[in-house]
Structure 1
Amino acid sequence: MEIIAGTTDIQLGQETAVALGKFDGIHIGHRRLLEEILSRKGRLAACVFTFDPPPAVLFGCSDGRELTTREEKRLLFGRMGVDILVEFPMNAVTAATPPEAFARDILAGQLQARFLAAGTDLSFGARGEGDAALLQRMGPELGFEVKTIDKVRMDGEEVSSTLVRAKVEEGDMESAGHMLGMPYMIAGKVVRGRQVGRTIGFPTVNVLPGADKLLPPNGVYFSQVRCGEKLYHAISNVGYKPTVTDERVMGVESYLYDFTGNLYGERVEVYLQAFRRPERRFQGLEALRAQLQEDIAAGRERCEKSYQNRPCQNNL
């Protein structure tokens, strides 16, 4: 996948099918946009156009924490088969671009768009005055077709990044996963921890999420961890590990059920499937070890019930 970032000077040598949006979370509504452009691959290059940073961050309406970080978006878009990802710089100058100029000069001109997929809530250009209706009016003149995708509803609610965010902040990982079309992901490089887990028989994989990653409440979660092409059942702790350290370093620590080896420096993906229990301080390592044994046994039982006669899902 070609990534174009940090520049407004976009030079493409091919015509494109473009999906427009913020794509925070890449939920099932976003996936419908992506299906539209991916179905046109071969005739047109599949292109995702998004803003970096998101408009809400630029205008002070967000704390900067995202459901899906820049690195995670790149990973997922590439895995889905997107040909070109444009991370268009969002600043005071670009935010003031008139919507008509944006459609004419950037979409039709620089991107050579021949097809556009957008949600009904699309807004762009100065003061957010550009929308899907404007693109549909300008499309015939500029040489592109526009398809507007309606909101997806689940359990009577419109699926949105805001709703997914609320579920993650509540620790309702099952609902968040259903709306995302996959379990909630935290990707990162494996770092060395204090290696206390090894001393009690539970070596773990440690990832330190960036400040731009939205995390669920501190606690223990049933999970899976992807290492390369392999996916392992796991149990993960999100938080500060108060039993083994007083340092306030937020991390995600995972014990992989059936893994032996060394992953230091490797990039992994942790998928949080369901909340198990809150994080808490134990009286000592033996008490922690006993609780971990209970957590892991509960996780194995859950795996057997949920995945009986089914292989591990490696298509996340």
Structure 2
Amino acid sequence: MFYTPSREEQRSAITIGKFDGLHLGHQMLVNEMVKRGKQENLRSVVCVMDFEPLWKEKDITPKLLMTKDERERRLKGKVDEVLNLPFDKEFRELTPEEFVREIIFKKLKAKYVVVGEDFHFGFQKAGNVEVLKSLENKYGYKTVVVVKKKYKNHIISSTYIKELITEGRVSTANKLLGYSYGFSGEVMRGNRIGRTLGFPTINVYPHKYKLLPPFGVYFNKVKLDGKWYPGIGNLGVKPTVMADSDVLIESFLFSYEGNAYGKQVEIELKKFQREEIKFESLEKMKERVDFDIREGKEYFTNR
């Protein structure tokens, strides 16, 4: 029997996946879901498979394109809800039909379920698009399958984008993400050497789960107090002035004057400039950084 909700219940349009990076392929799923939600006054819900319980259980440190906070910021104002589904033992032992009944039917009251062609769910990934479609009439929803988006014969996927970033091909990765890859976090106090050399920097430690591109200097933009500032940033361990330090990104902003310590910032990497270098002296480092700053200013002026 086809399920009909009571008048008090608001049905939903949902999409389900890992959504690591919210790249252009993911955005197609979200856009399709939002469109159907608006057409029929449905709640739009992005359901994210949250693997953190499994990572902690197995002592795994993943390398991700996006943290939970970054994903929620990017979806804010676009969807009604972002629902993290903890991938704990109880959840991952749900059969495909139990998943549909407990999550899609009871919890979310879904009318539309928007997924990609390769969507799998349930214990040992036994559920797929065909299984999802076979349960439609029983649980009162419609499956909407979105075809994979491609870029130059490559399927746009989190895996492929991670390969690009690992290789330092940040500009290409940004095209597939639909925005610029980067980091977010609190500005921490550094050793203030940059300030003494004439280019004070803001220092941010990347989240432990974030995928790191090659160490080096990048042209970047930093969002601080609601405003974007162009600049250059060094991602790495500052080998000229420190040994065995934690990885951080320190950015010099071309047009910012003020105290940023303790503030939350977002950093976007625009273009890889050069590898991180251990200079023989601070004077040599300053010469090269001055050159990088000139190149960075020219890069942003031309854009």
User: Matches of 1:226 and 1:14 in 2, distance apart?
Assistant: 37
Q: Structure 1 pair 156/55, CA: closer, same or farther in 2 (3 Å)?
A: farther
Task: Give the secondary structure class of the aligned counterpart of 2:135.
Answer: helix
Secondary structure at the counterpart of residue 299 of structure 2? helix
Whether 2:124 is the aligned partner of 1:120: answer no
Letter in 2 for 1:77: L
Q: Among 125, 136, 139, which residue is 1:139 paired with?
A: 136
Q: Specify every segment of 5 or more residues in structure 2 that has no aligned partner in the other structure, as ranges.
A: 1-7
SS in 2 for 1:258: coil
Q: Does the CA-based 8 Å contact 1:22-1:54 persist in structure 2?
A: no
Matches within 5 A, 1:213-228: 213-228=210-225
8 Å Cα contact 1:14/1:112 also seen in 2: yes
Distance 2:56 2:243 in 1: 35
- One-letter code aligned to 2:215: N
Q: How does 1:193-208 map to 2 (within 5 A)?
A: 193-208=190-205
Residue type at the aligned position of 1:245: M
Q: Residues 76 and 110 of structure 1: is their aligned pair in 2 closer, same or farther, counting only changes over 3 Å?
A: same
Does 2:26 align with 1:50? no
Displacement after TM superposition at 1:185 (Å)? 2.0
Secondary structure of the residue that 1:122 maps to in structure 2?
A: coil
The residue number in structure 2 matching 1:36 is 32
| Paired letter, 1:73 | R
Tell me which residue corresponds to 2:15.
19
1:58–1:18 Cα change, 3 Å = farther
Query: For 1:228 and 1:129, how far apart are their aligned partners in 2?
Result: 47
Matched residue SS, 1:141: helix
- Which has the higher Rg, Structure 1 or Structure 2? 2
Is the 2:53–2:86 contact (alpha carbons within 8 Å) kept by the matching residues of 1? Answer: no
Task: Provide TM-score, normalisation by structure 1.
Answer: 0.88
Q: Which amino acid in 2 is paired with 1:256?
A: L
Runs (4+) of structure 1 exceeding 3 A deviation are: 54-63
Distance in 2 (alpha carbons) for counterparts of 1:19 and 1:247: 43
Q: How far is 1:154 from its partner?
A: 0.3
> Partners of 2:179 and 2:296 in 1: how far apart?
18
Using the alignment, how far apart are the partners of 2:143 and 2:132 within structure 1?
Answer: 7
Give 1:66 deviation, angstroms. Answer: 0.7
CA drift of 1:177 comes to 0.4
TM-score normalised over the length of structure 2: 0.91
The percentage of counterpart residues that share the same residue type is: 34
Q: Which runs of 5+ in 1 are unaligned?
A: 1-11, 308-316
CA contact (8 A) 1:58 1:91 kept: no
**223-232 or 270-279: bigger deviation:** 223-232
**Aligned alpha-carbon RMSD (Å):** 2.0
Q: Distance in 1 between matches of 2:126 and 2:179?
A: 33
Which structure 2 residues correspond to residues 1-316 of structure 1 after superposition, within 5 A? 14-42=10-38, 43-53=41-51, 57=55, 63-78=61-76, 80-305=77-302, 307=303
